[in-house]
Structure 1
Amino acid sequence: MTINGTNLEGATTVTFGGTAGTITAATGSTITVTTPAKATAGQVAIVVTTPGGSTDNLTFTYTAAPTITGVTPSAGTTAGGAVVGITGTNLDTTTRVTFGSNAVPTLAPLTSTKLAVITPAGSLGLVNVTVTNPAGSAASLAYTYI
């Protein structure tokens, strides 16, 4: 993650909810830091400490990995192009959906529990539907190309 500001040279620590991140680069106006892992999703305070003092007016939101609880309809033609609804959790931050190894051409996160996609073309048979967001992926043997 990149933090932009002023007087950032010599930054000694960047903490996320009290846990230190790893500073990989710092200039007077930019800090690049790797965020530490966190077990639960949610917003945390970022504190940047430099020789001139600390700031605590920043926040960072950790997201949780998605889950899949349903795919409707569960079958469609190998030509693709069908609208499919996916239900689960943490779907509002979805960045990629695949049917087998084929990425969907269009995805529309509707809510944190509902996602609509247009199926890509695929080969005859059962495939995994995989949903990915910044925190991870979830897969389900849930769609059959007929």
Structure 2
Amino acid sequence: MPVPVQVTVTGPGGTSNGVTYTYAAGPVLSAVSPSQGPVSGGNTVTLTGSGFTGATAVQFGPTPAVSFTVGSATQITAVAPPGSAGPVQVTVTGPGGTSNGITYFYVGLPTLSAVSPSQGPASGGTAVTLTGTNLLGATAVKFGTVDATSFTVVSAIQINAVAPPGSAGTVQVTVITPGGTSNGVPYTYAAVPVLTSAVPGQGPLGGGNTVTLFGTGLTTTSAVHFGSTLAAFTVVSDTWVTATAPAGSAGAATLP
């Protein structure tokens, strides 16, 4: 508790009236929450402790807080200034002096350089590996606006994630950490391929003839089967694949 005393002056003519002077206990910090934030600053942190009444400054290392509000003798809210990646000591200065320091970490902005594989089915479930920098402490991995089904932070440069379901097309994969939101890297949801026809619809038992397959979602074709037999093929467009029929037995072969 602040302790007030009366200050007086004594001279040949006597002793003056008293004026109040208060001995204030020095501020003490016990916690900073959150204890980390982006190097760009701007996030609000809550300082708890004691002796905050009349605080005149809050410092993040050598840099003053952008602003601060004394909520009570035990709590201050402050806006972190920009800083360099790494730890600094947060302190409070008041009439009783400067507090002890509590560590606050400035976290670098995460960056993504690749996602592998970079495509998968619209049904989701594909295990992907994200590589980049400053990925420790990730709190979310997003495929567009949708959270990954799950993710594991392997290291500062790698995250393993499972793609959620999505609509056919390309989305941006991003990572969120206390340092902010990363740049996006593209991930493509491939539509389930649909075949509408095979021209010609028949050929010799010995195979070897060219068959043109028409349909949709064929751009990412990775295999063509005549029944259970693989065929050589060329993707011409999203709606057109040419294949060389393998040898077969008399009868109809299903093109899955």
TM-score for both structures, normalised by structure 2: 0.54
Distance, in Å, in 2 between the alignment partners of 1:32 and 1:41 is 22
SS at match of 2:183: strand
Cα drift, residue 110 of structure 1: 1.4
Alignment match of 1:6 (pick from 39, 50, 59)? 50
Going from structure 1 to structure 2, the CA distance change for 1:141 and 1:68 (only over 3 Å counts) comes to closer
Alignment partner of 2:103 out of 43, 59, 65: 59
Letter in 2 for 1:67: T
1:133 CA displacement: 1.7
The gaps in structure 1 that reach 5 residues or longer are none
TM, length-normalised to structure 1: 0.91
**CA apart distance, 1:60:** 0.8
Q: Which has the larger radius of gyration?
A: 2
Q: Deviations over 1:12-50 (max 9, x none)?
A: 111012111111333111111111112x31111212101
In structure 1, C-alpha distance between the alignment counterparts of 2:137 and 2:113, rounded to whole Å: 16
Whether 1:137 and 2:198 are equivalent positions in the alignment is no
Q: Distance in 1 between matches of 2:147 and 2:136?
A: 17
Measured in 1, the distance between the counterparts of 2:74 and 2:162 equals 42
Q: Unpaired segments of 5 or more residues in structure 2?
A: 1-44, 191-256
Distance in structure 1 (CA, Å) of the matches to 2:168 and 2:94 = 59
Among candidates 122, 134, 153, match of residue 78 of structure 1? 122
Three-state SS of the structure 1 residue aligned to 2:101 is strand
Q: What is the number of residues matched between the two proteins?
A: 145
Task: In structure 2, give the amino acid aligned to 1:43.
Answer: P
AA aligned to 1:85 is T
Q: 1: CA distance between counterparts of 2:184 and 2:142?
A: 11
Identity across the alignment (%): 37
1:121 aligns with 2:158: no
Residues 69, 88 of structure 1: 8 Å contact kept: yes
More displaced stretch, 128-137 vs 108-117: 128-137
Pick 1 or 2: higher relative contact order, CA cutoff 8 A, min separation 6.
Answer: 1
Correspondent of 2:76 among 5, 28, 31 = 31
Contact 2:57 2:94 in 1 (8 A): yes
CA distance in 1, matches of 2:62, 2:100: 11
CA contact (8 A) 1:47 1:55 kept: yes
Question: Could you tell me whether the CA contact under 8 Å between 2:112 and 2:131 is conserved in 1?
Answer: yes
